[in-house]
């Protein structure tokens, strides 16, 4: 984060500020580590779909992972080739399926047998074939917040192994489906890499089952989920791409002709973005004073929704002495709180505060509650 650029801009707060040089460094580190093993990265557009960020992903040579027809349209409009697009989601509608088939995307990542049957019907009526990867629910615990855990039986995502008999029976009847690969995604903000190791073990077993039934996956898509260190946004080893890709090289049994794909979102974009806000009031409280900001859960919902931690910095404070503050927004909800008893230098009305590591799932999850609108972002 470049404080002086932010301070001198005089921009209307609150707004998102993105440091493109940080983004480029992160992309480069991911690319270098993935290239060691010829792995393919698809950027998970859902994490941040602002145009300058998406453009960097395109220039990096990454593909994209989309979860809506709108994201697919954006990816095509931005210049991604259809063959670079993976499209996941448990509830794809007919127009989304038709668009995906007509565009000839890399894969529709199919999440249920019911969806497979509809895709077969749509492809047949369009007189085409649909490229399909089956999203398998591996029943691996990602050990992250339960709202962003996706690879357990109880979750709505993917096809579970107890459904395989019916799956193979259905696949046998599908003449308009091209089986391309297997897709997995166990969750997000995974910092301890052990769950990924467990995922590799499960993939090794599960792909054997498909091969035994005559379905050879030409690619494996291991999804995303690599977490970032929200405590230390400025560390250059954050996140650890080397350990992440190295783990798959060690533990995943890839056949020589197979390619391995990843769908990284947060790990690529979290660190390049900050939410910049102004202190509206310093309100006296019983235990700690409140810093009331002009940004709230409408601009960044992660703390309210997942009890997520984001480092908070007063970037204009003059005093060196720290005090505890409850840092809150202006929204009429008690969950509109960015942090309790946050140690900050003595803070005053009008000073700028940065809420760090907000590049992923920040701006894209902003909403209009209380009729609020988001100010244009800054890219520098």
**Is there a cis peptide before residue 239, judged by omega within 30 degrees of 0?**
yes
Structural tokens at position 336: 């509109």
Rounded to an integer, what distance in angstroms lies between the CA atom of residue 276 and that of residue 260?
Answer: 38
Query: 188 or 238: whose CB is closer to ligand LLP?
Result: 188
Q: How far apart are CA 229 and CA 227, in angstroms?
A: 7
By CB under 6 A, residue 223 contacts ligand LLP? yes
Region of 225 (left: φ > 0; alpha: ψ -120 to 50; beta: rest) is left
| Binds ligand LLP (CB under 6 A): choice among 185, 202, 219, 261 | 185
Q: Hey, is 130 helix, strand or coil?
A: strand
Least separation, in Å, of the C-beta of 355 and ligand LLP? 13
Count the residues of the shown chain that bind ligand LLP, applying the rule CB under 6 A.
22
Residues 291/282, Cβ–Cβ less than 8 Å = yes
| Interior angle at CA 190, CA 186 and CA 191, nearest 5 | 155
* 14/151 with CB nearer ligand LLP: 151
- Region of 130 on the Ramachandran plot (φ > 0 left; ψ -120 to 50 alpha; else beta): beta
Tokens 């629910």 belong to residue? 137
φ, ψ of residue 96 in degrees (nearest 5): -70, -40
Rounded distance between C-alpha atoms, residue 104 and residue 265, angstroms: 23
97, 110, 140, 148: which one binds ligand LLP (CB under 6 A) = 148
Which one of residues 112, 137, 188, 277 is an interface residue with ligand LLP (CB under 6 A)?
A: 188
Instruction: Determine, following the binding rule CB under 6 A, whether residue 273 of this chain makes contact with ligand LLP.
Output: no
Burial class (CB in 10 A: 0-12, 13-18, 19+), 135: buried
Selected binder of ligand LLP within 238, 267, 298, 347 (CB under 6 A): 267
User: Least CB distance from residue 292 to ligand LLP, whole Å?
Assistant: 24
Nearer to ligand LLP, 133 or 292 (CB): 133
- Alpha-carbon distance 47 to 77, whole Å? 18
Told to check if 132 binds ligand LLP by CB under 6 A, we report no
Report, in Å, the least distance between residue 22 CB and ligand LLP: 17
Position 88 contacts ligand LLP (CB under 6 A): yes
For 71, the token pair is 């994201």
CA–CA dist 130, 126 (Å, integer): 10
**Strand pairing category for 289-293 and 273-283:** antiparallel
At its nearest, how many Å lie between ligand LLP and the CB of residue 379? 20
Q: Does 44 help bind ligand LLP (rule: CB under 6 A)?
A: yes
State the minimum distance, in angstroms, from the CB of residue 16 to ligand LLP.
14
Q: How far is the CB of 157 from ligand LLP (least distance, A)?
A: 8
Q: How far is the CB of 82 from ligand LLP (least distance, A)?
A: 18
If the CB atoms of residues 354 and 366 are measured against ligand LLP, the closer one turns out to be: 366
226-265: which residues touch ligand LLP (CB under 6 A)?
226, 263-265
Q: Which two tokens stand for residue 178?
A: 């091209």
Q: Quick one: which of 63, 69, 224, 273 contacts ligand LLP (CB under 6 A)? A: 224
CB of 187 vs ligand LLP, minimal distance in Å = 7
List the structure tokens of 66.
Answer: 């989309």
Instruction: Decide if residue 361 touches ligand LLP (CB under 6 A).
Output: yes
Q: In angstroms, give the least distance from the CB of 296 to ligand LLP.
A: 16
Which residue in 225, 303, 329, 359 binds ligand LLP (CB under 6 A)? 225
Work out the angle at residue 311's Cα, subtended by the Cα atoms of residues 323 and 334, and round it to the nearest 5 degrees: 75
**Residue 87: what are its φ and ψ, rounded to 5°?**
-130, 110
Residue 302 as a binder of ligand LLP (CB under 6 A): the answer is: yes
Which residues between 318 and 337 bind ligand LLP (CB under 6 A)? none
Site residues (CB under 6 A) for ligand LLP? 44, 46-47, 65, 88, 148, 185, 188-189, 223-226, 263-267, 302, 306, 360-361
């Amino acid at each position: 984060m470049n404080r002086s650029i932010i301070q001198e801009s005089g921009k209307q707060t609150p707004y998102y500020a993105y440091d493109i040089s940080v983004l480029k460094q992160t992309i480069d580190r991911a690319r270098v580590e993935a290239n060691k093993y010829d792995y393919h990265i698809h950027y998970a557009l859902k994490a941040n779909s602002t145009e300058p960020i998406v453009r960097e992903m395109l220039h990096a040579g990454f593909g994209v992972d989309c979860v809506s027809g709108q994201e697919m349209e954006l990816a095509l409009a931005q210049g991604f080739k259809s063959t670079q697009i993976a499209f996941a989601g448990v509830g794809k509608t007919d127009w989304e399926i038709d668009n995906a088939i007509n565009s000839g995307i890399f894969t529709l990542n199919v999440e249920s047998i019911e969806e497979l049957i509809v895709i077969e019907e749509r492809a047949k009526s369009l007189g085409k074939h649909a490229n399909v990867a089956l999203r398998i629910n591996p029943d691996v615990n990602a050990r992250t917040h339960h709202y962003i855990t996706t690879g357990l039986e109880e979750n709505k995502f993917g096809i579970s192994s107890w459904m395989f008999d019916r799956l193979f029976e259905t696949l046998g009847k599908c003449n308009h489906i091209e089986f391309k690969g297997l897709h997995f995604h166990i969750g997000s903000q995974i910092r301890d890499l052990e769950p990924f190791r467990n995922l590799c073990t499960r993939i090794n077993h599960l792909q054997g089952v498909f091969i035994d039934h005559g379905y050879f996956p030409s690619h494996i898509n291991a999804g995303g989920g690599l977490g970032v260190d929200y405590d230390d946004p400025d560390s250059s080893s954050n996140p650890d791409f080397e350990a992440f890709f190295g783990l798959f090289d060690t533990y995943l049994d890839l056949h020589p002709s197979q390619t391995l794909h990843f769908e990284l979102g947060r790990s690529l974009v979290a660190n390049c973005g900050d939410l910049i806000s102004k202190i509206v009031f310093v309100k006296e409280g019983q235990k700690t004073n409140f810093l009331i900001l002009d940004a709230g859960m409408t601009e960044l919902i992660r703390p309210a929704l997942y009890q997520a931690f984001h480092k908070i910095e007063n970037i204009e404070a003059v005093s060196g002495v720290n005090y505890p503050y409850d840092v809150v927004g202006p929204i009429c909800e008690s969950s509109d709180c960015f942090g309790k008893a946050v140690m900050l230098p003595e803070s005053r009305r009008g000073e700028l505060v940065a809420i760090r590591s907000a590049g992923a799932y920040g701006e894209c999850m902003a909403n209009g509650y209380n009729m609020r609108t988001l100010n244009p972002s800054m890219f520098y």
